[in-house]
Structure 1
Amino acid sequence: MKPICLSALFFWFLLSLHAQTFSILEQNPTSIRWNQLQTPRFRIIYPRGLDSIAQYTANLLQTNYASVSHTLGKQPRKLSVVLQNQTTISNGFVTMFPRHSEFFTTPPQDPTLAGTNNWLGLLSVHEFRHVVQYDKMLTGFTKGAYWIFGNNALGVISLTVPNWFWEGDAVSTETALTSGGRGRIPRFDLEFRTRLLTGSEFSYSKATCRSYKDYIPNHYVSGYFLSSYLRRHYEGDAWGKILTRHYKFPLEPFSFSGAIRKETGMKVEQLYHEAAKELAGLWRNQLNQLNETQATLLPTARNKVMTNYEFPQYLDNTTIVCRKSGIGDIETYVSLKKMENGKAIEEKLFTPGIVEFTSHASNPSNGMLSVADSKIVWTEHGFDPRWNMRDYAVIKLYDLSSQKIRRITRRTKLFAPSLSPDGKTILAVEYTAQNQSSLQLLDTQTGQIVQTDLSQWLNEGFNASEHPLFQLPRFSSDGNYITSVILQENSKSIVLFDLKNRTKQSFPFGDENVSHPVKHGEYIYYNSPFTGIDNIYALHAPTGKKYQVTSRKFGAYNATISPDGKEIAFNDFTPNGFRIATMQNDPSSWQPLEDLANRTVSFYRPLLLQEGEKNLLRMTSHDSYTIKPYSKLANLINPYSWGPVVNSTGSDFFVGISSQDILSTTAIQTGIGYDANQRTASYIGNISYQGLYPVLDLNVSSGSRSGTGYVDRKLPLDSTRTDIWRETSISGGVRLPLTFTRSKFRESLVLSVYSGYTKVTDYDFTARSYSEQSNGSLYDMRYALQYNRLRKQALRDVFPRWGQTLTSQYRHTLPGSDFTGTQYTVQGGLFFPGLAKHHGFLLRGNFKYEDVSATRQNYRFAAPIVFVRGQSYTNSTYYTGVYADYRFPIFYPDWTLGRWFYIQRIKGNLFADYGRLSTGNASAELTSIGVDISADFNFMRLLPQLELGFRTVYRLQLGDIIIQPLVIDIGF
């Protein structure tokens, strides 16, 4: 295929991605009022009461602007930044729909995400680098496309750049410009490092597009090393030059790789292999003369794929509770009971709900759990029923005696719970909406925060203006002490609280990324990357002397001490994932810190020199900016895209303007639409206001329609005629989207009521008994319900293992309408486990009633139901259908077909459908059976993943076999 033709098709494909109806946007509660402040480069929009955080963020961004922009050679346009303080998720993002950034202000407990950086400081570098990347597109061909299409052009052209660059370059920047970026954290590269050290280097396609066969580190990790490798060997502005070349004509196939080759002489595949080769050599040298401590790995159930057993806690001297997860398993809590013969019995305890997470960390959950007095506590994600931007961190408890789960807190922001040894008290970190962190004590029975002088004393003596962040606190094994990491001013300390004597002792660690402290006897055990490899260390509290407890070659984490004090259990990383390892708790075998060699691999070092060895978070200005109220109404209209857009089938073409306000309350689309199937045009205006508890929708259209219909007055229907008429429609209504997720099932409900008016003129079909339309006015109502309850899925699952869905709709005309019609439909589905792991069975059924007799009803509504596969939809008064699907993965090939296709999974689906139609005394039955074969693949090694295949159907009544193309998921 000629490049210009391929580019045209690709461009058409990319344009299709952004034609869509209004979905439910993510909003805050209506009651929140907003302020704003303006700097020369930024507008900060934030909830009232967050003035100091907003001022601090403004100064961070303003200070960082020049340095973060420097190496890409682009100074971005002024940007709006929204501070979100109602969510417990630690995240941030930049979007072009509309163009702005959002910072989620709750800092993470996970030490692998921010390291020793201030959370907002990290976001101000990482997220703003994305802004620079996006504005870098405003050059060459892409700049012209932007003027024609608006931000839609930038959005689709951004897909020509692999995901690993966007995140990898941002991680490289945060690492080079701060003292605690992820490139400095050994846990960040743990899986990638282990793969290379064990000789398991994957192909470029597999390493960047992921896999169902093997665990692949995410694109943050691969991207960091690819982007940093190029900067290590070329100038600091090399990526800026590459992007300038690419955006001159980005739709040429593999333009990004070609730009790399022109700048460096290497294709992107060579860049990947050279980076992997260099890293493998550096990491092998890191292990030279490493004296590895001995430990015993607890045997586990046979796992065919990478599976993690994490966060161990002793239940007794022979039983350990931990969290199990992997690409083949959702998170479950299991116990491992050690036997005298050296084996262990693995027992599943329970499956939690949505565990606390930080959505873009390398390790997506700190996953901390605590066990005492036959109880287990942990944190789960709690959902607001309506507002997507308000959520909670709630504590749950599992009683091993009764085998029941109990929710301890509701609508709280409590993290990292720890049980006291007697099981009566829970210690946790609380965040306020003003971003203040504190330690809280809760009653295990009631879940109420215990307001005593002890809880007040725990939080005294810390400078609130410096926003100290408590991380991963723990009761000591005897209950007399509490340990906690405190992150303050980009520096960490471990604080020891003596609960009996009411004394506090602080042990400073500076920029050493320590975590997970736990006290037993005179020692505080903690995680540290001190030598360049994460391991477990011990601090002798009376003397302050430090020791290395474990020396494992990949990484050891999260120590816990057996009740008798004789054994240590910890997470030990292996090529097959995290395992639980045990060793003797023998201080005489530990290595003093001063005897240890520094084995740190500073892969980022050349980047520091390119950036002038700056630490931006210690250079922040302290200007004060004027604060003003932010009016939602005044900022309601915010156009972000314009020009032509086509839908995914290529049948609808739209020229107009799309608008959405920064706070995502109002979406508007207006313009002229063209239906290629009917060859007609119409004026369209759609608006959705989502700032209230119910969503308000209004849709208006006016233009031409065309259709082909039968003109027979009696059966058989074999004469057709095409006509063009004018149609004006107005519809409006309300939706109420609700979320009820509280367990391992994701549960949601959407209720809606809509009313519509349609005026038809210039319709010239002759009257007939099966007429569906004529001149006149139609007033109608529609009521709908959609309910889903679906179990969480592992990566390999093709269906939820358990689940229920229900959809019901009732439509009818209103008095005063020139037409009459009534329709009722209901359909539901049940998901069940299949015969093997990752197989799934889906049983669906539906029913439709619609009276189509000419004397009573003469308008037919479109029927939103599934029909028998391989058959064309046929109108009838009644329709009942039953459908069975058995879906299963066939194999995971990880095939690379040149540079064009990377095939990850081949799936099969066996189905059988039955439908019965009846109108009056006439009835008919339709039956089909068949098989679907489809492939999950990546095109041109780009995301998202696509799915195509074919369907073979045997139609029993007709006795024939048909083969159909199967388009399941093409990314939009």
Structure 2
Amino acid sequence: MKCTIQPLYPVPAACTVAHLLILLLFPSLLLAQRFGGNPPSLQWRQINTDTARVIFPAGLEAQGQRVADIVHYLNRQARTSIGNRQGKVDIVLQNQTLLSNGYVQLGPFRSEFYLAPPPSSLELGSLQWEDQLALHEYRHVLQNINFRQGISKVFSYLGGELGQAAVTNIAVPNWFWEGDAVTMETALSAQGRGRLPAFFDGFRGLALSGEDYSYMKIRNGSYRDYVPNHYELGYLLSTYGRNHYGQTFWKDVTTDAVRFRGLFYPLSQSLRRRTGHNITGFYQAAMQEYNQWWKEYAARKEITPASPLLPPAKVVTNYRYVYSAGPGQWVVLKSSYQRIPGFYLVDSSGHEQLITRPGSRFDDFFSYSNGRLLWTEARYDPRWGWKDYSIIKMHDRANGKTYTITHHTKYFSPDITPDGERIITAFTTPGQRYGLHLLNAHTGALLSALPNPDNWYYTFPRFTADGGAVISPVRNREGQMALVRQSLADGAATLLTPFSYNVIGAPVVSGDTVYFTGSRKDVNNIYAVTLADKKLYQVTDRPNSVLHAAVSNRQLVFSEFTSNGYSLYTAPLRAGAWPEVDTTVNAHSAWLRPDFKEGGNILDSIPARHYPVQPYHKAYGLFNLHSWVPTFDDPDYSLTLYGNNVLNTASTAIGYTYNRNEGSSTLGANFLYGAWFPYLQAGVDYTINRSVLTQNRGRLYWNELDWHGGFTIPLILSSGLYGRSLSLSSNYHYLQTYARGFKFVDDGVQYLSNALVFNNQRVKAPQNIFTHFGQYLYLQYTHSVDNVPAHQLYGRMDLYLPGLFPNHNLVLQGAYQRKDTMQRYSFSDNFVYARGYNDPFYQHIFKLGANYHFPIVYPDWGFAHLVYLLRLRGNVFYDHSEAYDFRAKVTTRYASTGGELFFDTKIGNTIPFTFGVRYSHLLDQDPADNARNRFDFILPLQQLFSY
């Protein structure tokens, strides 16, 4: 028996163990995936002060000024609870994407705001989006600045910004980073997620169902059960600590943690010293307090009785939106941990029929009217990753066909008239203008743009029963929401509800009544407003939040969150029994009206300073060296100095590598520029003491100089259910060798390395191991361009197919490699050999492989906060390979079969990590050592890079 360490599949040339270690130690790098994502035609401006450099596209001066005003105020007035250390940050405003997000990272120290507001207000709120981003993300800036102390500061010197990031992310759990930021967006505004009922649906659902998950399960998640995310966990723990131990409590705890006052579990040790609880006990105490409030609210006599519409699901399943499709029938959007989202027709008997599946989207909402389903799907510019679109799709149940209505648009939440002739849809522009467009439903042509003089942000527009007007929730500049009726004839808008910080979900129009989701109590409920008199009523009073409802035959069917996902309930529609709502009263309980002693809502009182605006040159800080990163990829041990510019169009790496096998040392420098259509790259590597063992057991030594440069064209071809990418590259190498004490036949070689990589993968559900249909194609041809004869052709194809059950996969592989027989120069070998065999001697070789992957168990078990086992899964395989030996002129078969056992884990409650063991039975004897059986340790590196 022989034990070795092998990858599951070969790692692409750009994905080495060194890169993996960087991504594992410094997860913030995962956020910077859109390298060179903006077209070069985009012109940039800046506001540069001692506190921040705000960088934004020309035309967004107002947004840049607003962000600068807020972060300056926060820097001077909102530091008490985190610390007074000073630093400057770069903030980039991105306006080409429709993603609603933002982040702060070290390496380099910067923040990016994605300026498109979220299409729904229920989960993230209705504040002006750049205001909320500034409140939330600048808190992360202050965290990073103030966490640079003690041991963390030492590592910032030793490893640069990424060194600090690695240590502070070990010392301070991810729930604190996000929970503290959510706390501040709530403390310093009139809203924030801490005042939104839907933000608590997950934990409240667990409490009401009696689930009591361990702290480790809450931290690490589950493939089997629904587990709330670290934003929600962090806010609950953050507020509990502030309420019981004071405003500066977490500043003191995190200071202990980043200084490592207590080498192991420093944050937990600090909590024990200050509260008497370690982190597990602290979590349990916080949840006991919140659970009591939620259970008392759910036990009230006013709760609306309702019955489940469908039998309980065996796995976590979500029915998010529902529409009446006739007596006893409804059209719903369904997804589960085993199945990707689809539109289904369900009936009261529990029967479900798939209608069609939507593609990837920025907004999961859809509408339904008279047999037609409307939704939006994401589309992407092939080259510029920041530039994307949201197009309208329609499915007609009458003929079973799906149509693309618009192209290259930025639309959300479309609705269609019952006659199928017109569509109303919300739009947004890169210049941050919003409104409604009326479209021809057959051609997508613009019929009219409704007036929007106050630049309200429209969400979920719906036609009235007569089709002459539109009902839509809107958000004003202050972040308040109201329900409005807008005439299609003259554009006149009438308020149906007053503006307030209570968020509003998607409306449903039924005759003269509009039903909608609202946040006026501790959970989101269904409310109704009558168009004739504008009176507001509460229709449901439920224990947990309602997302959406359908009205039919005096019956209400609604989607409510439970511990097993969004479930459908039904209740009679008793209009005469609805209580009228007093809109002047705040009906939230005290826990949903927190006061964090931070000064309250600052957004209405921040002074406008009118900072000077200057051009921002794209070449500024092109190299921007920020971090030293050690990597260990036996036999190679490296130390690399990395650099990236703020606009993420240039990447630099300067480093030293020691090869333990040869005893050689390499000094190298590489530069990648991605602001133009192709990526351009150039570099040089000088290696000292390369060596090879000769037949007489002597060793020959030489030095080697490699100049290289080339280009890569990365293309995004994703659409619908499939994520697709295509990369074409060509690199020229001039390699010169300097022999020591002997003479090479060739003193060097000039060669081209050309590659094509194509990846096409269908989206997958959370429990799916791999995609149910996908292809990975890698072709590489490397050949000399001088008089040294050398070439190598390599190709590989992986095909992903569904297995016998929803979470099973059949993965087929094929690979071929051919190289010259002169052996004057040998190129790097990426071939995927039959498992269990050593590398054979050959001129050309092919391999066919079959793998059947399947889950075994979901343990949801951890040990000492060090490792948490999420899933145990297996794979049985067969490999068949044949290699042609040009000297012996024979073809030799290498076939093997066996099994693999994989452990999907999280390390330190944070880092996803998979490892496994393999048993290979060799059907043909390995000529290298005559072995018949092998055990291998597996690191499936490629999974971290799969689409």
Partner deviation per Cα, 1:370-395 (whole Å, 9 max, x = no partner): 11232211111111111111111111
For 1:578, the aligned partner's letter is: Y
Q: Which 5+ residue runs of structure 2 have no aligned equivalent?
A: 1-19, 926-930
Q: CA deviation at 1:779?
A: 0.5
Distance 2:168 2:424 in 1: 45
Q: CA deviation at 1:735?
A: 0.7
Q: Is the 8 A contact 1:16 1:647 kept in 2?
A: no
Distance 2:670 2:399 in 1: 54
For 2:25, the aligned partner's letter is: L
Q: Which 5+ residue runs of structure 1 have no aligned equivalent?
A: 1-11, 358-366, 712-718, 767-772
Partner deviation per Cα, 1:769-810 (whole Å, 9 max, x = no partner): xxxx75512010111111111111111111111111211111
Q: Is the 8 A contact 1:480 1:499 kept in 2?
A: yes
1:737 aligns with 2:714: yes
Q: Is the 8 A contact 2:556 2:572 kept in 1?
A: yes
> Given the superposition, is the C-alpha separation of residues 703 and 609 from structure 1 closer, same or farther in structure 2, using an over 3 Å criterion?
closer
Q: CA deviation at 1:496?
A: 0.9
Match of residue 888, structure 1, among 842, 854, 863: 854
Q: Is the 8 A contact 1:184 1:602 kept in 2?
A: no
1:846 aligns with 2:819: no
Residues matched between the structures, number: 913
| Partner SS state of residue 472, structure 1 | coil
Where do residues 939-954 of structure 1 align in structure 2 (5 Å cutoff)? 939-940=907-908, 942-954=909-921
For 2:508, the aligned partner's letter is: V
| Partner SS state of residue 179, structure 1 | coil
Q: CA deviation at 1:23?
A: 7.5
Match of residue 961, structure 1, among 922, 929, 933: 933
| Partner SS state of residue 232, structure 2 | helix
Q: CA deviation at 1:582?
A: 3.2
Q: CA deviation at 1:656?
A: 4.9
Q: Is the 8 A contact 1:141 1:250 kept in 2?
A: no
Q: Paired residue for 1:684?
A: 668
Where do residues 496-511 of structure 1 align in structure 2 (5 Å cutoff)? 496-499=485-488, 503-506=492-495, 507-511=497-501
Q: CA deviation at 1:271?
A: 0.8
> Given the superposition, is the C-alpha separation of residues 779 and 251 from structure 1 closer, same or farther in structure 2, using an over 3 Å criterion?
farther
Q: CA deviation at 1:709?
A: 4.1
Q: Paired residue for 1:905?
A: 871
Where do residues 375-774 of structure 1 align in structure 2 (5 Å cutoff)? 375-451=372-448, 455=449, 458-460=450-452, 462-463=453-454, 467-488=455-476, 489-499=478-488, 503-506=492-495, 507-562=497-552, 566-594=554-582, 600-603=588-591, 608-612=595-599, 614-642=600-628, 645-649=629-633, 651-711=635-695, 720-762=697-739
Q: Is the 8 A contact 2:858 2:870 kept in 1?
A: yes
For 1:487, the aligned partner's letter is: R
Moved more, 654-663 or 833-842: 654-663
| Partner SS state of residue 461, structure 2 | strand
Q: CA deviation at 1:500?
A: 5.6
Distance 1:96 1:515 in 2: 36
For 1:947, the aligned partner's letter is: T
| Partner SS state of residue 422, structure 1 | coil
Q: CA deviation at 1:765?
A: 6.7
Distance 1:919 1:307 in 2: 55
Distance 1:482 1:917 in 2: 70
| Partner SS state of residue 28, structure 1 | coil
Q: Is the 8 A contact 2:21 2:631 kept in 1?
A: no
Q: CA deviation at 1:303?
A: 3.1
Q: Paired residue for 2:9?
A: none
Q: CA deviation at 1:184?
A: 0.9
| Partner SS state of residue 726, structure 1 | strand
Q: CA deviation at 1:924?
A: 1.1
Q: CA deviation at 1:648?
A: 4.2
Q: Is the 8 A contact 1:175 1:604 kept in 2?
A: no
Q: Is the 8 A contact 2:834 2:881 kept in 1?
A: yes
Match of residue 829, structure 1, among 778, 798, 806: 798
> Given the superposition, is the C-alpha separation of residues 846 and 440 from structure 1 closer, same or farther in structure 2, using an over 3 Å criterion?
same
> Given the superposition, is the C-alpha separation of residues 930 and 710 from structure 1 closer, same or farther in structure 2, using an over 3 Å criterion?
farther
Moved more, 743-752 or 895-904: 895-904
Where do residues 75-94 of structure 1 align in structure 2 (5 Å cutoff)? 75-94=85-104
Match of residue 136, structure 1, among 146, 161, 172: 146
Match of residue 59, structure 1, among 46, 69, 94: 69
Partner deviation per Cα, 1:560-607 (whole Å, 9 max, x = no partner): 333xx533332123332212333344311212224999763443656x
Q: CA deviation at 1:858?
A: 2.2
For 2:791, the aligned partner's letter is: T
Distance 2:40 2:585 in 1: 57
Q: CA deviation at 1:720?
A: 4.5
For 1:699, the aligned partner's letter is: G
Moved more, 140-149 or 623-632: 140-149
| Partner SS state of residue 686, structure 1 | strand
Moved more, 515-524 or 875-884: 515-524
| Partner SS state of residue 509, structure 1 | coil
Q: Paired residue for 1:790?
A: 761
Q: Is the 8 A contact 1:115 1:180 kept in 2?
A: yes
Match of residue 109, structure 2, among 99, 112, 127: 99
> Given the superposition, is the C-alpha separation of residues 652 and 532 from structure 1 closer, same or farther in structure 2, using an over 3 Å criterion?
same
> Given the superposition, is the C-alpha separation of residues 840 and 125 from structure 1 closer, same or farther in structure 2, using an over 3 Å criterion?
same
Q: Paired residue for 2:25?
A: 17
Distance 1:802 1:387 in 2: 26
Partner deviation per Cα, 1:832-874 (whole Å, 9 max, x = no partner): 111112010100011111122x4xx522212222111111222
Q: Is the 8 A contact 2:128 2:479 kept in 1?
A: yes
Percent of aligned positions that are identical? 29
Q: Paired residue for 1:361?
A: none
Q: Is the 8 A contact 1:656 1:671 kept in 2?
A: yes
Q: Is the 8 A contact 2:690 2:704 kept in 1?
A: no
> Given the superposition, is the C-alpha separation of residues 647 and 874 from structure 1 closer, same or farther in structure 2, using an over 3 Å criterion?
farther
For 1:126, the aligned partner's letter is: H
Q: CA deviation at 1:251?
A: 8.9
Q: Is the 8 A contact 1:142 1:250 kept in 2?
A: no
> Given the superposition, is the C-alpha separation of residues 35 and 482 from structure 1 closer, same or farther in structure 2, using an over 3 Å criterion?
same
Partner deviation per Cα, 1:488-531 (whole Å, 9 max, x = no partner): 11211111124467643113131111222233222221111212
> Given the superposition, is the C-alpha separation of residues 405 and 957 from structure 1 closer, same or farther in structure 2, using an over 3 Å criterion?
same
TM-score by length of 1: 0.90
Q: Is the 8 A contact 1:112 1:182 kept in 2?
A: no
| Partner SS state of residue 111, structure 1 | coil
Distance 1:547 1:677 in 2: 77
- RMSD across aligned positions (CA): 2.4
TM-score by length of 2: 0.92
Q: Paired residue for 2:7?
A: none
Distance 1:623 1:88 in 2: 29
Moved more, 840-849 or 577-586: 577-586
For 1:265, the aligned partner's letter is: G
Q: Paired residue for 1:187?
A: 198
Q: Is the 8 A contact 2:671 2:683 kept in 1?
A: yes
Q: Is the 8 A contact 2:57 2:93 kept in 1?
A: yes
| Partner SS state of residue 836, structure 2 | coil
Q: Is the 8 A contact 1:14 1:156 kept in 2?
A: no
Q: Is the 8 A contact 2:183 2:194 kept in 1?
A: yes
For 2:113, the aligned partner's letter is: F
> Given the superposition, is the C-alpha separation of residues 705 and 387 from structure 1 closer, same or farther in structure 2, using an over 3 Å criterion?
farther
Q: CA deviation at 1:321?
A: 1.2
Q: Is the 8 A contact 2:546 2:559 kept in 1?
A: yes
